[in-house]
Chain A
């Protein structure tokens, strides 16, 4: 599975859009980009995933560059409850994978 790199931390004002970047320059053609978040010490929670097209769901939007070497998770209107560690991983849907989550981006939403 491709290695990903993310900034260690980011701040975002409440109500503003939070844009979290992820680099995955070694991603292979059959690997999807997945985003998860971990709030405090709970289990990681699935947010969104995509292959090459931009994706949107009720939680977030995912923008993937045309060369697929990087992506951005967008939380359109961040709330205090979005404060969490966000993990970006790349994996294929059918692999028996040895994915490591971490260290991710610690997002702090500030009132």
Chain B
């Protein structure tokens, strides 16, 4: 009955590889996000989708490509991984109209590029 679930929880991969992180929410929210947490503990938004439409696309390398097949899923594909991509990536969801409790976050994916 997990509200926002993301897989995998840990991902160790070599430089140059391509990898994907999957996210699913069962809250009926209309908006989903990808956040990146850096070593200084800031969580910075990368992408946001509202009803499968990309609405926020922050300055991230175009090696990062989000895909939302439906409003309950938001996946993140990363091409040609670099050492600097190592971080914890969090998926989140919210109900934009009518607000409510703000964001619900997944448990994170710790990506380590070696």
Which residues in A have some Cβ–Cβ distance to B below 8 Å?
32, 34, 36, 38, 41-46, 49, 85, 87, 91-96, 98-104
- Across the interface, name the chain B residue whose C-beta is closest to A34: B102
A103 & B96 in contact (Cβ 8 Å cutoff)? no
Q: Which residue of B lies closest to A87 (CB)?
A: B43
Range of interface residues on chain B? 20 to 34
Given known A-B contacts A93-B99, A93-B100, A104-B41, A98 and B58 have beta carbons under 8 A apart: yes
Q: B110 to chain A: which residues have CB within 8 Å?
A: 41
- Contact between chains at B99 and A41 (CB < 8 Å): no
Additional A-B contact list (13), CB under 8 Å, known A46-B104, A96-B55: A41-B110, A42-B108, A43-B105, A43-B108, A46-B101, A46-B103, A85-B41, A87-B43, A94-B97, A96-B31, A98-B58, A99-B45, A99-B103
Is the pair A36, B103 in contact by a Cβ cutoff of 8 Å?
yes
Distance between Cα atoms of A99 and B42 in the complex (Å): 11
B107: nearest chain-A partner, CB-CB: A43
- Closest chain B residue, CB of each to CB of A48: B101
Assembly CA distance A44 to B108 (angstroms) = 10
Q: Are the CB atoms of A94 and B43 closer together than 8 Å?
A: no
Chain B residues within 8 Å of A102, by CB: 40-44
| Binary contact track B62-74/A, C-beta < 8 Å → 1, others 0 | 0000000000000
A32 touches B99 (CB 8 A): yes
Q: In the docked arrangement, what's the CA distance between A100 and B35, Å?
A: 9
Binary flags per residue of B52-87, CB closer than 8 Å to A gives 1, else 0: 000110100000000000000000000000000000
